[in-house]
Amino acid sequence: MTRYLAGRLSVFIIAVFLLTVFSFSLNYFFPGDPITNMSGVRSFQSSYPLIMEMRGGKENIATQYMHYLHHLFTGNWGQSLSNGTPVFDDGIQHFVASMELIILALLVAVTLGLPLGVFAASRFRQGSDKAVVSLAMVGYSVPVFWLAQLMILLFAIKLGWFPITGQINPLYGVEPQTGSIFIDVFLSNSEYKAAALQDAINHIVLPVMILAIMPMMLLLRLMRNATQEMLQKPFIKAARARGLSEWRVLVKHAIPNALQAVLQQTTLLFSLMLTNSIVVESIFNWPGMGNWLIRSIFERDYPIIQSAVLMFAFVILFFNLLVELYHGWRFPIVRHEQYATR
Amino acid sequence: MQLLDIRNLTVEMQTPQGIVRVLDKVNLQLTEGEIHSIVGESGSGKSLLAKAIVGFINPNWQVTADRLWWNGKDLLAMSPQQRRQITGRDMAMIFQDPNAYLDPNSTVEQQIVEAIPQGDVRGTFMRRRVDRKTRVKRLLHRVGIRDHEPIMDSYPFELSQGVAQKVSIAIAIAHRPKLLIADEPTTAMEPSTRLQIHRLLARLAVSQQMSVVLISQDVGSILPETKRLTMLYCGQLMETGPAKDILSEPAHPYTDSMIRMSLQTQQELPHKARLPTLPGAIPTLRHMPIGCRLGPRCPHAQKTCVKAPTATHERQRVYHCHFPLLVTSS
Amino acid sequence: MPHVNLYHHDETPSPLQLVWKSFRARFLSMAALYLLLAMILLVLVSPLLAPFNTSTQFSDAIALPPSWVESGNMQYLFGTDDLGRDMLSRLLIGGLYSLGLPILMVAVSSLIGMSIGALAGIDRTIKYQSLSRLFDTLLSIPSFLMALIIIAILGTGFNNVAFAITLSLIPQFIFVTRNAVHEEWHKDYVTASRLNGCSKAYLLYRVILPNVTPTLVMQLTVSLSVAIMDIAALSFLGLGIQAPTPEWGSMLARSLDEVYLSPWSMVLPGVTLFVTIMTINVVGDSLRRALKERVNS
Ligand SMILES: Nc1ncnc2c1ncn2[C@@H]1O[C@H](COP(=O)(O)OP(=O)(O)OP(=O)(O)O)[C@@H](O)[C@H]1O
Ligand code: SF4
Ligand SMILES: [Mg+2]
């Protein structure tokens, strides 16, 4: 495990390092002055010479990069080109708001997708399997923005159940502090906390549902195929021949082994999730990273663009690292395959 | 009473080229506590016969038999659940490639524990845990693994083939089956491990009153304790009877050639000597000869051999051949 | 001399034929394939079929419902949008951008990606292996995000968007090709041919290619549906193909405001997009299924 851990961590660290190199070089790719792109201070502003000095703007590129790293790790991510607010503070809030949405959606996707996948596999090629699999195919093929429109049309406009923009009704006067709406509600000194909480829940239901559907269908299909493949394996048949109940065969042998296969494909899941979160946040005007990124692209707010990109990429790498570590810890054969053969 | 009684077992399977008969009217009788060897070249349907007994067979294949009785009960007449219950309780099978039959993501201990019948362990929760562990240890000792600690916590891919096979034997005997079918359990192993496992099987047969069906590819590697011997070729039964009689006095040309082959390979062969094999090669599934399937390769074949030979009963022995080597005494 | 078939000879189909055979055997697979081909054909001839210019605004027919609705007009088969533009023409021509362009982009990126991937797949030393793990890690960054970055650098516009998505699709092709080739390369039969002295080029084209083709075709369908989704999403967000051009995603972008007035302007492009993606996904999934059946049999 130590070796696996070290290997995975070192790859992660190198990847993060490459990521910082990339986001540093973005400053040169973006149109305009690199120092302005990094710091959000324009060349005619009075603080520009100071910033130039601090970021090593006159020195060679390696020194500049070191300065950039230093700023990055001390939370000094410059200021927004459009309204001058510090990027780091904004970024944290948007990050937390996004994570709230994404993690809830992931929970929904996992708790519904995996069991349904197992169910379909255990009814392989019977009516209920076909129904579930067709549903998954449909759900997986609906473009997320159209799905959002349809759901808004149905639940928000026709039925009027859920509101469609933002995290909470501004009338409750809940100040964004952490970015997570639930924590913010608790921190606020509003007199109507319970009502505010209810309102926050109403706001989050629709985006979470929409965001969860595609990953859920993906998981369902992956799990169904993996489980079905496992059920064909000799060791499963042998377990059955030994007289174990079908339930026990499924729970103790087929599902763990299928999970091992599914976990190998979670990169797909996370990248689908993040891609869709960008679109969903824009539609629902959710104050998360995706919305932030799209707005900054429109406004050519380069300090924000690179910070958002950096955060997105980091989140993906980090999620994948977590899954890989869990994978290697729970399924020793994964470690074995990676270091013992070839 | 016979433990297992099979009459005219036929297995047919669908292939893109049509229906193929992979087992053709095979008979097998088994009494309690005996070791029965099934011998035949590759593709002769030995594994298929074993799998048909334990009901481990592709549901699309056609299995018919005049009789497939276990302990006097007709296995073919049962519902799949019933049959699974009975085979799960009374039979066990081990395979050539033990690793494919062990769950790669559970430890040895978990897998053996799972095979121990629930009723065996009693007491409080903690007591049961301890009890299970001691039972696992005892089982591992019984199959010749002294050093149980590291093995119990291992995953199957960490074991050598010999140890993995012993573990699968431990799993197989955990519920004290009446019949253990071993399908070429030692083919891929070095001689010392092979000897160990063979001895283990022989000992189990004696000490547990367990019948053992041992499948192997040549007559040379059957156990000395073998009571009865069955020769299969291309899904047809060639000869069956007491092992000693058959080995000393084969009645069937196929048996004869197999025995001579195995004797010859154990001795030093002179330079450029011919191997005493049958000419030709095993026919493919789609091109099975009619009548006696050995026909094209048989040194004694004559015109009548295109009709399938009927069984000849000779003392305790049965063979299917128009021109047997034994001159019938009666 | 008459040709007499003396020996019974069984055809042994090649792996490709086997996959095709089991693909063909399933009705749904073939239906999806034909539908996809029909859609591609329709897109190719769409400029000839479109009854009107896509940007002509008929002031006498604003927000006209489709012809099958009571108040519809046969002249505008699918109705018109809020500016009085003919929906059918816009959907047809929109296909050029929403389906035709992605096909082109996938073609370009697959050519580049597969060549690099094939080369990367056949030579692997230890050093290379650790590099490739790093590469895999970086690959986990979604293609949509990469396209966004490129657009942020280059700005929006037809060419930039096409370039951005093409570029962002390449890594997946490298990844899949490399893994498929590498897996095949280490199988025993290839090792045997290699020991027999076959050249690398021969091995790649005659030995490996037939075996990895289905996998690559599957990746083509996956990438195509990703490309369609990406370009539609970008246009929906206003970063892709810009407004007067009738792209399905951008047609959807303005439809929510007017959904009460003209629901068909939201339903029609959405359904078209959905059916297109669904068809491609079904083809890809059937291929995966056929492939698995071959391996299992
Ligand atoms: N799943 C299957 N699909 C198609 N044919 C099969 C299948 N299993 C077995 N056969 C065929 O049935 C015949 C008998 O196979 P079987 O495995 O019983 O032979 P065997 O005597 O055990 O040979 P070996 O010594 O190689 O294990 C073979 O010709 C084989 O090709
Ligand atoms: S029946 Fe004929 S072909 Fe078959 S074994 Fe006897 S002699 Fe040989
Ligand atoms: Mg066998």
The answer to whether the CB atoms of A232 and C140 lie below 8 A apart is no
Evaluate: CB of B285 within 6 angstroms of ligand 1.
Answer: yes
Among C145, C167, C275, C278, the strongest candidate for a mutation testing the A interface, having the largest count of A CBs within 10 A, is C145
Whether the pLDDT of residue C126 is over 70: the answer is: no
Q: Which residues contact C38 (CB under 8 A, 6 or more apart)?
A: none
Among B85, B91, B101, the strongest candidate for a mutation testing the A interface, having the largest count of A CBs within 10 A, is B101
Question: Which of B24, B257, B290, B300 to probe ligand 2 with, by most ligand atoms within 8 A of CB?
Answer: B300
- Cα distances (angstroms) measured from residue C134 to each of A2, A13, A320, C116: 19, 10, 13, 17
pLDDT by residue for chain A (342 residues), tens only, comes to 788 888 889 889 988 988 888 888 888 888 888 888 888 788 787 887 787 777 877 778 888 888 888 888 888 888 788 888 888 888 888 999 999 999 999 999 999 999 999 999 998 888 888 899 999 999 999 999 999 988 888 888 888 888 888 877 777 777 777 878 788 887 877 777 888 888 888 888 899 999 999 999 999 999 999 999 999 888 998 888 888 888 999 999 999 999 999 998 888 899 899 999 999 999 888 888 999 999 999 888 888 998 999 999 999 999 999 999 999 898 888 888 776 543
**For residue range B260-279, what is the model confidence (pLDDT) as tens digits?**
888 777 666 677 766 667 77
Residue C175 CB neighbour total at 10 angstroms: 18
Q: What DSSP state is assigned to residue C61?
A: S
Residue C126 CB neighbour total at 10 angstroms: 8
* Per-residue pLDDT, A339: 66
Interface of C with A (CB under 8 A): 130, 133-134, 137-145, 148-149, 151-153, 186, 225, 229, 232-233, 236-239, 249, 252-253, 255-256, 259, 266, 270, 273-274, 277-278, 281-282, 285, 292, 296
Question: Radius of gyration of chain B from Cα atoms?
Answer: 21
In DSSP terms, B15 is beta-bridged to B18
Rounded (10°) angle between helices C264-296 and A144-151: 130
Whether the pLDDT of residue C69 is over 50: the answer is: yes
**Alpha-carbon gap: B231 to the closest alpha carbon of chain A (Å):** 26
**For residue range C181-211, what is the model confidence (pLDDT) as tens digits?**
888 887 888 888 878 887 877 877 777 888 8
The answer to whether the CB atoms of A278 and C249 lie below 8 A apart is no
Contacts of A252 in chain B (CB under 8 A): 103, 106, 114
Which residue has its alpha carbon closest to ligand 2 atom 1?
B321
Least confident of B29-38, B50-59, C80-89, C279-288: C80-89
d(CA A301, CA A294): 10
The answer to whether the CB atoms of B106 and A252 lie below 8 A apart is yes
Rounded (10°) angle between helices B125-142 and B108-115: 100
Three-class secondary structure of residue B247 per DSSP: helix
Token readout for A267 is 């990169």
First to last CA, chain B: 28
Q: Compute the CA torsion angle C230, C232, C236, C237 (nearest 10 deg).
A: 20
Taking Cα atoms as reference points, which of C102, C96, C65, C97 lies closest to residue C80? C65
Residues C252 and C229: beta-carbon distance below 8 Å: no
In DSSP terms, B242 is beta-bridged to B228
- Cα distances (angstroms) measured from residue B313 to each of B239, B249, B316, B329, C215: 10, 15, 7, 12, 58
Q: What DSSP state is assigned to residue C229?
A: H
* Per-residue pLDDT, C86: 77
First to last CA, chain A: 19
Give the domains, in start order, of chain B with CATH numbers: 2-266+288-320 (3.40.50.300)
Q: What DSSP state is assigned to residue B305?
A: G
The answer to whether the CB atoms of A336 and B56 lie below 8 A apart is no
In DSSP terms, B211 is beta-bridged to B179
Which numbered atom of ligand 2 lies nearest the CA of B298?
8
- ipTM score: 0.88
Instruction: Select from A145, A312, A342 the Cβ nearest to the Cβ of C145.
Output: A312
| Residue B319 alpha carbon to ligand 2 centre in Å | 10
Residue A31 CB neighbour total at 10 angstroms: 11
* Per-residue pLDDT, A143: 92
User: What pTM value is reported for the model?
Assistant: 0.87
Q: Rounded to 5 degrees, what angle do the CA atoms C236, C240, C242 make? A: 90
Using the Cβ of B171 and the Cβ atoms of chain A, whether some distance falls under 8 Å is answered with: yes
- Count of all residues that appear for chain B in the document: 330
Which residue of B lies nearest to C18 if distances are taken between CA atoms?
A: B16
